[in-house]
Structure 1
Amino acid sequence: MTLDDQCVSIYPYFRVPAERKQEVMELCKQFVDRSSQEPLCLYYGFTKAGEILHCREGYRGAAGALAHLENVDELLQQILQICELTKLEVHGLPDELEKLRPALTTLPVEFFELQMGFRR
């Protein structure tokens, strides 16, 4: 089966300290504002369950994901000083994941290789 889906999805989960929730939500607004300007960003948003904040984000290939990481690096460093990164998943085609590995070596990331599917 040939896979044409070049989307790379990144799924970080953060534990937000209750006393810093407002500060984190302000950072989230900045993340969204910056990400909305990225031409290779397919979708981007935050969801919440209790004290866990999740960012659902997708990019056109590893190039899009790498451009995003560069664009939000300062904000990422800020949120990592406030929140615990409890989980980080990256999903995509094996070749695209290989391009991302060097940029994520300092984070506790788990890579998931796309096996089958489609994108509209």
Structure 2
Amino acid sequence: MLKCIPHVNIMSVSLHPYFKAHAGKREACLALLPAFVATTQPDTNCLYYEFTTHEDEIFCREAYVGGSAALAHLTSVGPLLEQMLELADLTRLEIHGPAEELELMKPTLAGLNPTWFTTACGVTRTSVG
């Protein structure tokens, strides 16, 4: 049985999309990444946003202050995401966060068939040292 102190007042939601570039399209996918970052950079509700790659797989590690902020981000990068999906398949989408924040997102994102992970407990730091 899980015995830990649950998050208190932590409403962050993280998105974990995995893309697989179509044959010969890896470089075109990578060329889109700076535009995703530039669009996201001014968003003060974004906690972190970065891409990592492994061969033809592209992963975006991102988190937002709540479900509404995550949905707003998806709206802002919508045109870029459409371009990405012409070059790559979305092979997996995980969404992690508190149950009430996930519920806000489910009606909008259900069509993408994400796997929903509910926050159980953890630690959040706003600074290190």
Normalising by structure 2, report the TM-score: 0.88
Identity across the alignment (%): 38
Report the alpha carbon displacement of residue 113 of structure 1 after superposing the two structures with TM.
Answer: 0.2
Equivalent residue for 2:43?
38
**Distance in 2, Cα, partners of 1:86 & 1:2:** 31
Cα RMSD after superposing both structures: 1.2
Equivalent residue for 1:102?
107
Q: Residue 55 of structure 2: which of 41, 50, 58 is its match?
A: 50
Q: Which has the larger radius of gyration?
A: 2
Equivalent residue for 1:3?
7
Query: Within 5 A, what are the aligned runs for 1:1-120?
Result: 1-4=5-8, 5-120=10-125
Normalising by structure 1, report the TM-score: 0.94
Question: Any gaps of 5 or more consecutive residues in structure 1?
Answer: none
Question: Any gaps of 5 or more consecutive residues in structure 2?
Answer: none
Range that drifts further, 77-86 or 93-102: 77-86
**Distance in 2, Cα, partners of 1:27 & 1:7:** 26
Q: How many residues align?
A: 120
In the alignment, is the contact (CA less than 8 A) between 2:13 and 2:96 conserved in 1?
yes
3-state secondary structure, aligned to 1:100: helix
3-state secondary structure, aligned to 1:79: helix
**Distance in 2, Cα, partners of 1:78 & 1:65:** 19
Report the alpha carbon displacement of residue 66 of structure 1 after superposing the two structures with TM.
Answer: 1.1
